[in-house]
Amino acid sequence: MKPTLKKVLFCLIALIGDLLTSFMAYYFKLPFFFDTEFAVAITFYMGLGPGLIVAACYNPLMICWLCIYTGTPFSFYDCLYTICGMLIVCATWLFSRNKKEFLFSRPLTFLYLLIIATVSAVFSFTSASLLDTFVLPLFKTTTGFSAFDNFSEVLREFEMGTFLSYLVPRIPLTALDRLVCTFAGYGVYWLMLRYDDFQAARGLSLADYED
């Protein structure tokens, strides 16, 4: 398979994977988003560019799907959460780009995955809270599918600042989600490597047969 075609195909598969697992989490009301594990996997496997493409395409498509499913009017503001997904990809790439270190040993890989989950969680809940604090008022609307609005309103009744009222409820759920998606993404990445090994072994076997 040509490299460009392979990238396009794998990015498309990753995008569909994130859409399906995210909708599953929404439908079954699971306590995490489960929306970036394939973006993480493609970042591990192909680097920053493909990961950013998957993350950038995911959010608008997911919002459209949920709007159709629930009958909710489309919200352009919700699409801005794409920034969170792209920051997650950047954090993933930052700590995994050196594969010699990242895959040096199982304990070191585990440590890197924990660091990626932690840093990406901080990037995610901070950026989302900043958006809700400073950008959401400009739209004069509410978020269409936020799981945190009710909690934020309660915290503001206790005179908590706007930014903290958005930030505090996000921390536990986002931290859990980043752990699940980061390690799930690594699992998908591991399967991709095994697929490459299989393809390489198959190529060698065919070459031996032809000889």
Per-residue pLDDT of 80-111, as tens digits, reads 999 999 999 999 999 999 999 999 999 999 99
Name, in order, each residue with C-beta under 8 angstroms of 200's C-beta and a sequence gap of 6 or more: none
Assign 206 a pLDDT band (cuts: 50, 70, 90).
very low
Question: What domains are there in the chain, each with its CATH number?
Answer: 3-184 (1.10.1760.20)
Q: What is the DSSP letter of 72?
A: P
Q: Which helix (DSSP H) or strand (DSSP E) does residue 176 occupy?
A: helix 162-210
Amino acid letter at 124?
Answer: S
> pLDDT, tens digit, for every residue of 12-33?
999 999 999 999 999 998 888 9
> pLDDT, tens digit, for every residue of 188-205?
999 999 988 888 887 755
> pLDDT, tens digit, for every residue of 117-137?
999 999 999 999 999 999 999
Q: What is the pLDDT of residue 200?
A: 84
Question: Which pTM value belongs to this model?
Answer: 0.92
**What letters, b where the CB count within 10 A reaches 16 and e where it falls short, cover 71-83?**
eeeebebbebbbb
Q: What is the pLDDT of residue 209?
A: 44
Distance from C-alpha of 86 to C-alpha of 142, rounded to nearest angstrom: 22
| pLDDT at position 207 over 60 | no
Distance from C-alpha of 9 to C-alpha of 185, rounded to nearest angstrom: 17
Do residues 82 and 59 touch, judged by C-beta distance below 8 A? yes
Do residues 180 and 32 touch, judged by C-beta distance below 8 A? yes
Name the nearest CA neighbour of 88 among 56, 136, 134, 130: 56
Do residues 145 and 63 touch, judged by C-beta distance below 8 A? yes
Name the nearest CA neighbour of 15 among 39, 43, 41: 39
> pLDDT, tens digit, for every residue of 138-184?
987 766 666 666 667 778 788 789 999 999 999 999 999 999 999 99
